[in-house]
Amino acid sequence: MDLEFTLEERSFREQVRTWLEENKPSEPRPKSDDLEQRNYDLAWQRTLYDNGWAGIAWPKAYGGRELGTIAQLIWFEEYAKAKAPYLGANFVGINHGGPTLIARATEEQKTFHLPKILKGEVVWCQGFSEPGSGSDLASLSTKAVVDGDQLVITGQKIWTSFAHIADYQELLVRTDPDAPKHKGISWVICDMHAPGITIRQIPTIIRGAEFCEVFYDEVRLPLSSVVGNLNDGWSVAMSTLSFERGTGFMAAIIELTTTIEELIDIARHKKSPDGKRTYFQDDEYRRKLLSLKAEIMALRSATYRAISRNMRQDAPGPEGSILKLVMSDLNQKLARLGVDILGIEALAFGGSHRDGGVSTAAWLGSFSGSIAGGTSEIQRNIVSERVLGMPRG
Amino acid sequence: MDMMQSPEQDEIERTVAAFLTEKFPVRGHGHSFKRTEPEIADELWQECCNLGWLSLGLSEEAGGVGYGLAEEAILFRELGRGLAPGPFLSGVLAAHVAATAGDHELVAKIISGEVRVALATPLNTDEASASFSGDISLVHTERADYAVMITPNKSAIYAMENVAVEPVDSVDISLAVGRAKFDNVHALHLVDSGASSLYERALILAAAISVGMAIEVMRISVEYSKTREQFGKPIGSFQALKTYAAYMASRCELAESQLFFAALAVEARFESARSEALAARFNANEAARINGEHAIQIHGGYGYTTEYTPYRFVTRNHVIERIITLRSAVIDAI
């Protein structure tokens, strides 16, 4: 065991820090206009690519740096410290779609799609959940019928962030209705500009409209859009999800460590309602803040350990679910404590929760953490059944 | 950066665990509510000392094995997992205090088992001092020649020969606990805790014991939930119990990660070392305490008895979380 970073890793950290400090956008991410957000997010991605910071762990052949998980960790740590912009519309391409393609796509699919993602030329979205298939994802019913060299897709997806400004979608469809539910699913790259697609934006409690539902009315895609084999989509999807629960949340976890310091700083300066002391001088708040800080430190340490574990095995194991579970709990606790300390100021909605920091919007935004990417109930099932070996219900 | 145990560290874990399983099986106490045997048998204590357990993390110049704090933490995690009795924690800490003071003769006596050391925790948040007066809680009082007191700024060893110890009916009946009133007791050695990270070491090794208990009490609860049947199926198949179990596992993973992160941070002399060690102690205490509570609940009526073992983890942790520094003081210093 050791906590030391190599000379090479330390010099990488120095380069990242300097570059981000000098090059992060001075303009904040636009708050409401969808196209402006798309343009802003893609322009930032392009800047990252042009300067060699896109796809730190992606293969060189597709434009990445091929640097390993520790470099990725260093990048996220410095990125959070620099308060560089939220990935926004690039999230799915960089964190889900791209990594799945790297793991499971054909050479042709990879060569076509991966550089476009890294260069900030396209926006990806995710089409997994359906109105009737949430936690029971494998029960999904959007169907795809093979017609010659095409797939014909009919059905509906929901909770699709950025569908309205996306170019491609990682889409799960049922290609064999007669097979057991996990065996009849395919993972498809869907062209979001194809005829037959209708999108409705869904307003959310954080006042965003990036959430969408997507309707497919006999949408025709080339059969070559399938990633992995036909009807093997469940295993392809799982490679995305275990990635997401493994190191995909590294950035968000590291953000917690900066936000708790920000909140402690606010508490050191802000007078508590009795006017006699600051929030930090109030025993109740100080202990809440510091015990939460201790928990966040432990989550950071567990992330370091998960990275070390991943370096000894090919794919992240089910232990990643622990990180996801604890991260969403602690994020909610932190956001809740934040609005407590904001006090009467918290009546104002505040900025976008994606700006990080402490705000009422951040508190409302924190509710999504225990629902998105597999609910906390599902994470607890994974931990108890696959890590601890408890019997399935 | 690598937070996983090396093969050599795995070997330490295996050796210690195998010895403890053979020599210190964890059992319920049944109808006996008072300790009738010594806290640890003399031969067994001698055997542990001969294995080098008290000198694992001491430098070779000081007569130790020369491993680091991470290896000591592995040893203490296993001692916690096996609910080992005996003055291990106080012995190891006293050996480090004596080594810091340059008293190699005392180091040799402690690590060979020739003398034994109790663990002293002041009832108030006093610092150890050259001449200490005040009420003291003592653990591992049996046959103790010395007491070691580790506080945030100062660490001390006191001779026990003129101190009257009043035995306490310990909540954990496997430990010899007592109270004493120190009246100007002179320290044999008084050193700065900062000099050899003594306070951090005490926090981390106590945390390691709690982490071991958190892991083991989770393991026995999960095993029980797989075999105990109600409504025609194992109770471990119910989501209510899985929720307990998943959080037990999460607490273990976080507390253990923080334990080793802190141990490495102390050794690398990070500026944040003390804060990391306090956070290790905090997370470990929470993990052992809450996992113990869940363990009793998962075992149902059996968990309320002294015939099953969950209460042994709960009562041992009750002691461990109170020694060295109280919870509120730990939180305030993070």
Contact flag A1-B237 (C-beta cutoff 8 Å) = no
pLDDT in tens, A329-355: 999 999 999 999 988 888 888 754 455
List residues of A whose CB lies inside 8 A of any B CB.
Answer: 1-5, 9, 70, 286-287, 290-291, 293-295, 297-302, 304-305, 307-309, 311-312, 319, 322, 325-326, 377, 379-381, 383-385, 387-393
Catalytic residue from among A130, A210, A244, A255: A244
- For residue A292, which of A333, A326, A332, A252 has the smallest C-alpha distance? A333
Asked if the A125-231 domain carries CATH number 2.40.110.10, the reply is yes
pLDDT (0 to 100) of residue A310: 84
At A389, which amino acid appears? Answer: G
Give the homologous superfamily in CATH for domain B198-333: Butyryl-CoA Dehydrogenase, subunit A, domain 3 (1.20.140.10)
Instruction: State how far the Cα of A302 lies from the Cα of A308, in Å rounded to an integer.
Output: 10
Mutation for B interface: A13, A245, A296, A297, most B CBs within 10 A: A297
Residue A32 has pLDDT above 80, yes or no: no
Which range, of A109-113, B194-198, B309-313, averages the lowest pLDDT?
B194-198
- pLDDT-derived band at A356 (thresholds 50, 70, 90) equals low
Contact flag A3-B264 (C-beta cutoff 8 Å) = yes
Tokens representing A54 are: 């896109």
pLDDT in tens, B52-81: 999 999 999 999 999 999 999 999 999 999
Mean pLDDT, residues B147-163 taken together: 96
pLDDT (0 to 100) of residue A243: 62
Instruction: State how far the Cα of B184 lies from the Cα of A83, in Å rounded to an integer.
Output: 55
Q: Helices then strands (H, E): number in chain A? A: 12, 8
Contact flag A297-B279 (C-beta cutoff 8 Å) = yes
Which CATH class for the A247-387 domain? Answer: mainly alpha
Sign of the dihedral defined by the CA atoms of residues B141, B142, B146, B148, in that order: negative
The answer to whether A331 and A295 have CB atoms below 8 angstroms apart is no
Burial of residue A313 (CB within 10 Å: 0-12, 13-18, 19+) is: exposed
Domain boundaries, chain A: 7-86, 125-231, 247-387
Domain boundaries, chain B: 198-333
pLDDT (0 to 100) of residue A206: 87
- Give the number of beta-carbon pairs within 8 Å between A and B: 150
Tokens representing B254 are: 């976080």
Which residues of chain B make contact with A3, given a CB cutoff of 8 A? 1, 3, 261, 264-265, 268, 270
- For residue A75, which of A126, A123, A3, A5 has the smallest C-alpha distance? A5
Mean pLDDT, residues A71-80 taken together: 91
Which residues of chain A make contact with B334, given a CB cutoff of 8 A? 290-291, 293-294
pLDDT (0 to 100) of residue A33: 76
Contact flag B276-A297 (C-beta cutoff 8 Å) = yes
Contact flag A308-B4 (C-beta cutoff 8 Å) = yes
Which range, of A15-19, A257-261, B201-205, B255-259, averages the lowest pLDDT?
A257-261
Residue B22 has pLDDT above 60, yes or no: yes
User: What percent of chain B shows pLDDT beyond 90?
Assistant: 93
The answer to whether B27 and B309 have CB atoms below 8 angstroms apart is yes
| Residues in contact with A386: Cβ distance below 8 Å, sequence separation at least 6, in sequence order | A318, A321
Task: Choose which CATH entry (1.10.540.10, 1.10.3720.10, 3.50.50.60, 1.10.1240.10) describes domain A7-86.
Answer: 1.10.540.10
Burial of residue B199 (CB within 10 Å: 0-12, 13-18, 19+) is: buried
What is the β-pairing status of strands A150-157 and A143-147? antiparallel
Instruction: State how far the Cα of B165 lies from the Cα of A341, in Å rounded to an integer.
Output: 48
pLDDT in tens, B117-135: 999 999 987 899 999 999 9
At B128, which amino acid appears? Answer: A
pLDDT (0 to 100) of residue A349: 84
pLDDT (0 to 100) of residue A353: 45
A130 catalytically annotated: no
Mean pLDDT, residues A98-114 taken together: 96
Instruction: State how far the Cα of B82 lies from the Cα of B16, in Å rounded to an integer.
Output: 10
Tokens representing A333 are: 């606790």
Mean pLDDT of chain A: 92
Mean pLDDT, residues A170-176 taken together: 98
pLDDT in tens, B100-122: 999 999 999 999 999 999 999 99
Tokens representing B138 are: 């003592």
- pLDDT-derived band at B188 (thresholds 50, 70, 90) equals very high
Q: Which of the two residues, A57 and A125, has the higher pLDDT score?
A: A125
pLDDT in tens, A179-221: 999 999 999 999 999 999 999 999 999 888 789 999 999 999 9
pLDDT (0 to 100) of residue A245: 57
Contact flag B283-A294 (C-beta cutoff 8 Å) = yes
| Residues in contact with A250: Cβ distance below 8 Å, sequence separation at least 6, in sequence order | A72, A73, A76, A303, A307
pLDDT (0 to 100) of residue B124: 84
| SS3 (DSSP) at A287 | helix
Mutation for B interface: A312, A325, A390, A392, most B CBs within 10 A: A390
